[in-house]
Chains A and B, each alone.
Chain A
Amino acid sequence: MSRKLNLGMAVNEAIHIAMETDPDVILMGEDVAGGGDREGDGIDEMGGVLGTTKGLVKSFPDRVLDTPISEMGIVGTAVGAAATGMRPVVELMFVDFLGTCLDPLLNQAAKLRYMFGGKARIPLTVRTVSGAGMQAAAQHSQSLYWMTAGIPGLKTVIPSNPADAKGLLLASIRDDNPVIFCEAKLVLGATGEVPEGDYEVPIGKASLVREGGDVSLIGFGGTVAVCQRAAKKLAAEGIEADVLDLRSLQPLDEEAILTTLAKTGRVVVVDESTPRSSVASDVAALCVDQGFDSLETPVKRVTAPHSPVPFSRPLEQAYLPSPERVIEAVRSQG
């Protein structure tokens, strides 16, 4: 059985299941309860700035922890709790706030296991809202998955739809490694069929969401829908596209990328982040490095420009990859 849920509801359901099935799972972050466990005074909880975690504190009053606005304290505390037997799920309200809590991720969560010669496990999940699309401007709209994906010891995942979000989050919470779980603003409101019950989507496995033999469009998070829309338009012109949803940026499903490349010989990778040191560049490098013989044309990257995210609506829209830019990239391949 399944029903239509949006991505936030799917995330909520996954956390509920994780907490129900494992007493070591705790949820902590700014406003995750949002003051809602007070009874009888006619007020309700916020459940996070976007309401994603609403209701969880009522089900698990001792394990949903409202924190002060102290990102370093929150994430650092979660790392310490994870190293000593808890399985914390932290909400980092927007990934832009990574700057205030990078050390506990970069130097602690990511490295403790390695530095201790394999004698520690850090089962930590950091959920964070990522990317542009809500006119939230330059400090609340960045996509920083390229940064976390590049840090050995961390895993980074980014679902493109509610069903994957639920399964990927359950897999992330139950993974014994620190996982950065990105909730892209472009798909936060999107609804889709979500299976009921407890299931996991494995981390590190891409998903071929559309099949066609002429060109491979590779996206993740919010750009999967962009690829799909481009694929539809291309189909009208007689060009059939594979659309590959990476789902996980580290580990990266290199096999799936090389498989679609071998099938089509043409790759366009669509990334809503900036181009330098990006996932798009990484995928392009992989194609050249290991799939060179299959390539019929140069790999094309469709990304944001090397600039902060602008506020003004038309500017923000133009900043983001669009189906038109994807089609243009395909055409430029000849």
Chain B
Amino acid sequence: MRPTPIESNPGRSQNTGQNTGESSAMNLTREQLLDAYRKMRMIRAFEEKLGELVAAGKMGGFMHLYAGEEAVAVGVCAQLGQRDTVASTHRGHGHCIAKGVDVGAMMAELFGRASGTCKGKGGSMHIADVEKGMLGANGIVGAGIPLTTGAALTAKLKRSGGVAVAFFGDGATNQGAFHESLNMAANWKLPALYVVENNGFGEFTPTEFVVPVKDIAVRAGSYAMESAIADGMDFFDVYEKAGEALEHCRSGHGPVLLECKTYRFAGHFVGDPLVYRSKEEAEDWIQNRDPLDRFESHCVEAQLVDADDLRQIDHAVQEELEAAVEAAEAAPFPDLSEITTDVYYTPPGEGGAR
């Protein structure tokens, strides 16, 4: 396969402004808005519940919470279908919920139960549901990016009309995997949407300590790739920019790098002492830019939904979560024989390769 030559056009379409004019997000139906809110609330409540469970010593493992970044996952995934894939990160619960992975199975996975999404063999950093197009959280920073490039190659070669989406942090854009992937995807004009969740920290180090550019989005320029910047705390802005990017990908014009400026409400992992950022900074983001609060004020002020509807959703989400925890805790652990299953695929009727 030979690539179509790309006109030199470095850093084109740097859309760094706020929403202007008619927004596709403004055309969302009430049901779509409520569903988006429900998913964002579920992510927030899910993460808060995990924080409690870990603190109570009921849940183990390395855990990275997505609270604060909900508008990114939901703003993008609300526009994805079955044929579209998502590759995620170590901070992956939000992407799973946004892509429609069953919350009960996720909770069971985090409890290491046989009824988990991955039979209890993956845990927080490897939750996946390939049937739902969720190609997995990933414990290796940046590793989901080439997986998405490959999924986009499949979509192009099979002409599925699908788009492959990668979510990753600002830290991942310093990995070779990011640059190699973007180069290949741009060269082959693959339908890939690369979403940078720039939350200002790579683990504990402020992004500006290790990255010489203010906007990660400019890195697309080296690959003659479209890019855009969204306010990652604003569902509507993410929805708008992601919608344009997905349209660009679907119409065969190649990949897009979408930078969403966001913030991690909790630390890098559960138990992070948070000594590396000021309380004032965190409070400012949490009090003034919470994506759920902003969604609510926007929708209620514009009379798109009632506050009561949202409170009902809050209640229903909480009940669903309590039930998920109860069911997960009561579920059996995997049989010890599962340690050595699923290492290799063996065709039906053949003995296992060991």
Q: Is A274 an interface residue when CB atoms closer than 8 A count as contact?
A: no
One of A64, A80, A114, A119 near B149 (C-beta < 8 A):
A80
Q: List chain A residues, Cβ under 8 A from B130.
A: 83, 116, 119-120
Q: List chain A residues, Cβ under 8 A from B126.
A: 115-116
Q: Is A37 an interface residue when CB atoms closer than 8 A count as contact?
A: yes
B87–A80 contact, CB under 8 A?
yes
A65-B342 contact, Cβ under 8 Å, with A80-B150, A114-B121, A115-B121: no
A251–B150 contact, CB under 8 A?
no
A112–B136 contact, CB under 8 A?
yes
Q: Is B344 an interface residue when CB atoms closer than 8 A count as contact?
A: yes
CB distance from B131 to the nearest CB of A (A): 7
Stretch touching chain A among B20-28, B40-48, B111-119, B227-235? B111-119
In the complex, residue of chain A having the shortest beta-carbon distance to the beta carbon of B344: A177
Q: Is B135 an interface residue when CB atoms closer than 8 A count as contact?
A: yes
One of A75, A86, A153 near B344 (C-beta < 8 A):
A153
Q: List chain A residues, Cβ under 8 A from B349.
A: none
B157–A62 contact, CB under 8 A?
yes
A77 to B190 alpha-carbon distance, docked (Å): 11
CB distance from A21 to the nearest CB of B (A): 17
One of B128, B164, B187, B342 near A80 (C-beta < 8 A):
B164
A64 to B122 alpha-carbon distance, docked (Å): 34
Q: Is A259 an interface residue when CB atoms closer than 8 A count as contact?
A: no
B149–A37 contact, CB under 8 A?
no
B181–A114 contact, CB under 8 A?
no
B343–A152 contact, CB under 8 A?
yes
A153–B343 contact, CB under 8 A?
yes
A114-B150 contact, Cβ under 8 Å, with A119-B129, A251-B353: no
A73-B184 contact, Cβ under 8 Å, with A86-B153, A116-B128, A119-B131: yes
A63 to B116 alpha-carbon distance, docked (Å): 37
B122–A84 contact, CB under 8 A?
no
Q: List chain A residues, Cβ under 8 A from B149.
A: 73, 76-77, 80
Q: List chain A residues, Cβ under 8 A from B104.
A: none
Stretch touching chain A among B139-147, B249-257, B285-293? B139-147
A117-B184 contact, Cβ under 8 Å, with A61-B1, A103-B140, A107-B143: no
In the complex, residue of chain A having the shortest beta-carbon distance to the beta carbon of B147: A80
Q: Is A333 an interface residue when CB atoms closer than 8 A count as contact?
A: no
One of A61, A79, A116 near B150 (C-beta < 8 A):
A79
One of A73, A116, A120 near B177 (C-beta < 8 A):
A73
Q: List chain A residues, Cβ under 8 A from B345.
A: 113, 118, 121, 176-177
User: Chain B, 181-202, contact with A by CB distance < 8 Å: what is the 0/1 string?
Assistant: 1011001100000000000000
Q: List chain A residues, Cβ under 8 A from B128.
A: 112, 115-116, 119-120
A84 to B149 alpha-carbon distance, docked (Å): 11
Q: List chain A residues, Cβ under 8 A from B1.
A: 61-65
- The list of the 10 closest CB pairs from A to B, nearest first, reads A80-B150, A76-B146, A73-B180, A117-B119, A80-B147, A117-B118, A118-B342, A81-B150, A70-B180, A115-B126
| Residues of A that sit less than 8 Å from B by CB | 26, 37, 61-68, 70, 72-86, 88, 103-104, 107-108, 112-121, 152-153, 155, 176-177, 204, 251
**Given A76-B181, A77-B153, A81-B150, 8 more contacts at CB 8 Å?**
A73-B176, A74-B184, A80-B87, A80-B152, A84-B150, A115-B126, A115-B136, A117-B122
**A-B contact list, 23 entries, CB within 8 Å:** A61-B2, A65-B188, A72-B177, A73-B180, A73-B183, A74-B180, A76-B143, A76-B177, A80-B87, A80-B135, A80-B148, A80-B149, A80-B150, A80-B152, A83-B135, A86-B154, A108-B138, A115-B128, A116-B122, A117-B119, A119-B128, A121-B345, A204-B353
| Residues of B that sit less than 8 Å from A by CB | 1-2, 85, 87, 116-122, 126, 128-131, 135-136, 138-140, 143, 145-155, 157-158, 164, 176-177, 180-181, 183-184, 187-188, 341-345, 347, 353-354
